[in-house]
Amino acid sequence: MSKPVFVLLHGAWHSPRCWDSLISALNKAGYSAVAPALPSSGSTPPTPDWSKDVETIRSTVEDLVKENDVVVVTHSFSGMTGGTALEGLDKETRAAKGLKGGVIRLIYITAFLVPEGFQHSAHGTRDNMVPEMKTDLDAGVITVSPEDAKDMFYQDLDDATVAELVKDLRPQSFAAFWSTTTYAAWRYIPTTYILCLGDKPSTVVAARYLIDTAKASGPHKIEKVVEVDAGHSPFISKPEWTAQALISEVSGQA
């Protein structure tokens, strides 16, 4: 089978455009990448949960695994939806059914690596939401202001670049944060976590906690944690590094 295809899942408030620099770097190295738009970010009216995200991720991967091995890359919020969407799509399960292709690796980029039954916030509340997340319950959305975006997403990018990036931010479904995971793909698919040390300090602490808790929770396939001196979005600030980090996970390089 040819080189695997990368499926890139954007986080909350973002669109597939956030992956443009990384996709270019992957393409230059001879790899293909697909970045679906996840409906919980930017839909009008806002989605009532994250089910459309899960459906989008699953249908995207299902189409690709018919002819390809696939690497799923999640960022931030999409760690929850990506981890939920992949049941039965791993390489081992498909091979047992006589099917070719499958998901051969998960890569979490400072993403929510959480178990089955995880709910970010209790229904109807803003539990566990940081102050930068501006909630509008009547409108059903959460926004991040341009003034807060650098501290939230783009810590290692210059102000001019951030000013351009914030133009593409969009409202995020409030209710998506009330959804509950039903599957933890990292228990069944070899997994790498990219921990961004230049992220918000609280996010780094939370990521370490999630990794340690997941490993202690039972069977898992979390094989490696890669640390990088980068902010929350290394695929924007360090696209070449990120591309090589992803490729190394599927090419046997150290």
Q: Are 110 and 211 in contact (CB under 8 A)?
A: no
Residue 252 CA neighbour count, 13 Å, CB half: 1
Q: Which of 78-87, 115-124, 235-244 has the lowest mean pLDDT?
A: 115-124
Q: What is the mean pLDDT of the chain?
A: 96
* Dihedral pair phi/psi, residue 209, rounded to 5°: -65, -45
pLDDT for 97-118, tens place per residue?
999 999 999 999 999 999 999 9
Q: Are 220 and 185 in contact (CB under 8 A)?
A: no
Stretch 156-180: mean pLDDT? 97
Q: Does the pLDDT value for residue 235 go beyond 80?
A: yes
Stretch 162-179: mean pLDDT? 97
Stretch 63-71: mean pLDDT? 97
Superfamily of domain 5-251: Alpha/Beta hydrolase fold, catalytic domain (3.40.50.1820)
Residue 4: CB atoms within 10 A of its CB come to 24
Instruction: Copy the structure tokens of residue 97.
Output: 């059914």
Enumerate the domain spans of the chain: 5-251
CA distance 223 to 216: 13
Residue 1 pLDDT? 56
